[in-house]
Amino acid sequence: MKRLLITALSAAMLLGLSACADKGAESAVQMDEQELNSKQPPVVTEEELGLRKENLYTEDTKPVRAVYTKAAPGTATRFKRSYVNAPPLIPHSVDGLLPITKGNNACLGCHMPEVAKSVGATPIPPTHFMDFRTQKKLDHLAQQRYNCSQCHVPQANVQPLVKNNFQPDFWRPEQMEKSNLIDTLNEGVR
């Protein structure tokens, strides 16, 4: 009988506490709703979200006029890298070379390391012959780096849409022309 009484009292207390907790939660929700209604967040329009501050539905857009080099491979002046180990820009015309497809990558004809020196091209760097997941060197071009134009773009004389005060900090002068990514890939990791 004592056990039954204790069990009944315990259940009553738990139900009572639960009801109090529910009542407290209800009043907290009401308070949060009142607080939200009294403090309306500022409305941000679509025009305020973009860089151009224009209505994207009615704006008369014109593409940026970029003048790409028409120089033949090996004859153009190369731009310096934008920052340490940045993918270099393509200094020659890409007419007839793009798009890169599963069955055709015209870049490889001149830029594979065994051919590049003889034709005066920049060889594909060692990082492109490495599996970054396993940290193993490959005897072939890594599939992840087959599509050259996902990182490398033709160089062009264009002005930035937004002012940029970034100044690259090259630790050594040769980094303006050449990557040392293969040497520094795991810097700070080990």
110-132 pLDDT, tens per residue?
Answer: 999 999 999 989 899 999 999 98
Q: What pLDDT was estimated at residue 17?
A: 47
pLDDT over 90, % of the chain: 29
Which pTM value belongs to this model? 0.61
Mean pLDDT of the chain: 79
Q: What pLDDT was estimated at residue 44?
A: 80
Least confident range from 8-12, 70-74, 103-107, 140-144: namely 8-12
Residue 7 has pLDDT above 70, yes or no: no
Q: What pLDDT was estimated at residue 171?
A: 85
Residue 9 has pLDDT above 70, yes or no: no
Q: 138 near 130, Cβ under 8 Å?
A: yes
In CATH terms, 90-161 corresponds, of 2.40.50.140, 1.10.1130.10, 2.30.30.830, 1.10.10.10, to: 1.10.1130.10
pLDDT band at residue 142 under the 50/70/90 scheme:
very high
